[in-house]
Structure 1
Amino acid sequence: ASDLVLSVELEQKASIYGFQPDSKRHQVLKISVLLPKCIATSRRILENGFSWTGSKSQIDGYKTYETNIDFEIRLMADLNIVGCNWIEIPAGKYFIRHMVTRGLTQQLKIQSRCQIELDVWAHDIISYPAEGDWQRIAPLRIMSYDIECAGRKGIFPEPEHDPVIQIASMIIRQGDKEEFIKTVFTLGTCANIAGVEVMACKTEHELLEKWADFVREVDPDIITGYNIQNFDFAYLLARAKHLNISTFPYLGRLKDVKTTARTTVLQSKQLGRRENKQINLEGRILFDLLL
Structure 2
Amino acid sequence: RHHIVEKKIFGKPIKAIKVDCKNPDNLSKYANHLKKTLNAGSSFEDDVRFSMRYLVDKEVNPCSWMEFEVEEIKNENFRIDQIYLAKSNPKKLDGLAPPKFRVLSFDIIVYGVKGAAKAAQDPIIIISAMDNKGVKTQFISENKDDETIIEKFRNFVNEVDPDIVVSYEANQVHLPYLISRAESHGIDFSINRDGGVPHRSVYGHVSVTGRANLDLYDFSDEFPQV
TM-score exceeds 0.5: yes
Q: Which has the larger radius of gyration?
A: 1
Aligned residue runs from structure 1 range 41-120, under 5 A: 41-49=29-37, 59-61=38-40, 63-89=42-68, 93-98=69-74, 109-110=75-76, 112-120=78-86
Following superposition, the deviation at residue 122 of structure 1 comes to 4.8
Answer whether contact 1:188 1:203 (CA < 8 A) is retained: yes
Partner of 2:110: 149
Aligned counterpart in structure 2 of residue 235 of structure 1, from 177, 180, 183: 177
CA–CA separation in structure 2 for the residues paired with 1:219 and 1:259 = 15
**Measured at CA, do residues 158 and 215 of structure 1 come closer, stay the same or move farther in structure 2, by a change above 3 Å?**
same
Aligned counterpart in structure 2 of residue 170 of structure 1, from 126, 130, 134: 130
**Measured at CA, do residues 209 and 170 of structure 1 come closer, stay the same or move farther in structure 2, by a change above 3 Å?**
same
* Matched letter for residue 8 of structure 1: H
TM-score, structure 1 normalization: 0.66
Partner of 1:281: 208
Following superposition, the deviation at residue 111 of structure 1 comes to 5.5
CA–CA separation in structure 2 for the residues paired with 1:145 and 1:228 = 9
Answer whether contact 2:125 2:140 (CA < 8 A) is retained: yes
TM-score, structure 2 normalization: 0.83
Partner of 2:10: 18
Answer whether contact 1:46 1:63 (CA < 8 A) is retained: no
**Measured at CA, do residues 10 and 47 of structure 1 come closer, stay the same or move farther in structure 2, by a change above 3 Å?**
closer
Answer whether contact 2:70 2:86 (CA < 8 A) is retained: yes
CA–CA separation in structure 2 for the residues paired with 1:263 and 1:60 = 31
CA–CA separation in structure 2 for the residues paired with 1:62 and 1:217 = 54
Unmatched 5+ stretches in structure 1:
1-6, 50-58, 99-108, 173-177, 190-201, 265-276
SS at match of 1:14: strand
CA–CA separation in structure 2 for the residues paired with 1:79 and 1:263 = 25
Answer whether contact 1:144 1:171 (CA < 8 A) is retained: yes
CA–CA separation in structure 2 for the residues paired with 1:258 and 1:235 = 13
Unmatched 5+ stretches in structure 2:
219-226
Following superposition, the deviation at residue 188 of structure 1 comes to 3.5
Q: How large is the Cα RMSD of the aligned pairs? A: 2.6
SS at match of 1:33: coil
**Bigger helix fraction:** 2
Answer whether contact 2:104 2:162 (CA < 8 A) is retained: yes
Percent identical among aligned pairs is: 22
Aligned counterpart in structure 1 of residue 199 of structure 2, from 250, 257, 260: 260
